[in-house]
Amino acid sequence: MSTEQRVRDALRSVEDDEPSAQVWSQILQRGGQLRRRRSTKALALTAAAIMLIAASTWVAIDATSSSQEADIQASTTGHSYRLPSNGWKPGTGSMLSRGGGEFHAVLTPTGACAWLGSGPTTWPAGYRVRFNPTVLINPSGRVIAREGDLLEVGGGYVDMATSTRCVTAGERPFVIQSEVRRMR
């Protein structure tokens, strides 16, 4: 299958969702009917069509976001730091206490620490934090909260026999064993 045919097939697959894809698909079809040979111009037009569709889709998605979500999405650049994990992953057993509080984080000389409310917290596998502005990132890489956002979680308290980067031995951190949700 030629590159041009693959592009045409890709454009056909998005025609229903994107009106501009229909226009570009028609232009490509007409161009193919007039000349059947490959040319640099046809490839350039195809590349331009793909870029235009991608740009218009991005603008449409961005325009539908609320201002708060747009602010959060804009802060997804820069270095992120892995949070100390309790190892919990969706689908595994969990404690059932409801918890939550305002999200806070700090960067220490040994790495990042984050907590909810005023007590120590351990996080499910894969959570990260980014600073300037401070945001919480889920295992999928999506920013889900900013500093001070009120979050709701499930899990429970445990006794810590040994110290970690963010929890001192003898403390009882809240062990998050659920998805983290922002409360509105």
Query: Lowest-confidence range among 13-22, 93-102, 151-160?
Result: 13-22
Question: DSSP 3-state assignment of 106?
Answer: strand
Say if residues 123 and 137 touch (Cβ distance below 8 Å).
Answer: no
Q: Please, which residues bridge with residue 102 across strands?
A: 150
Say if residues 130 and 80 touch (Cβ distance below 8 Å).
Answer: yes
The residue whose two tokens read 């429970």 is 156
Say if residues 13 and 20 touch (Cβ distance below 8 Å).
Answer: no
Q: Which residues contact 70 (CB under 8 A, 6 or more apart)?
A: 62
Residue 87: is its pLDDT beyond 60? yes
Condensed to tens digits (0 to 9), the pLDDT of residues 130-175 reads 999 999 999 999 999 999 999 999 999 999 888 889 999 999 999 9
- What does the pLDDT read at residue 54? 52
Q: Where are the domains of the chain?
A: 3-64, 78-182
- What does the pLDDT read at residue 128? 97
Mean pLDDT of the chain: 75
Angle between helices 19-34 and 40-64 (to 10 degrees): 170
Q: pTM for this structure?
A: 0.58
Provide the Cα torsion 102, 163, 142, 148; round to 10°.
Answer: 20
HSE (side-chain half, CA atoms, 13 Å) at 85: 14
**14 or 168, which is more confident:** 168
Pairing mode, strands 150-157 and 121-122: unpaired
- What does the pLDDT read at residue 48? 59
**2 or 92, which is more confident:** 92
Question: DSSP 3-state assignment of 120?
Answer: coil
Stretch (H or E) spanning 13: helix 3-14
Q: What value does the mean pLDDT take over residues 4-32? A: 53
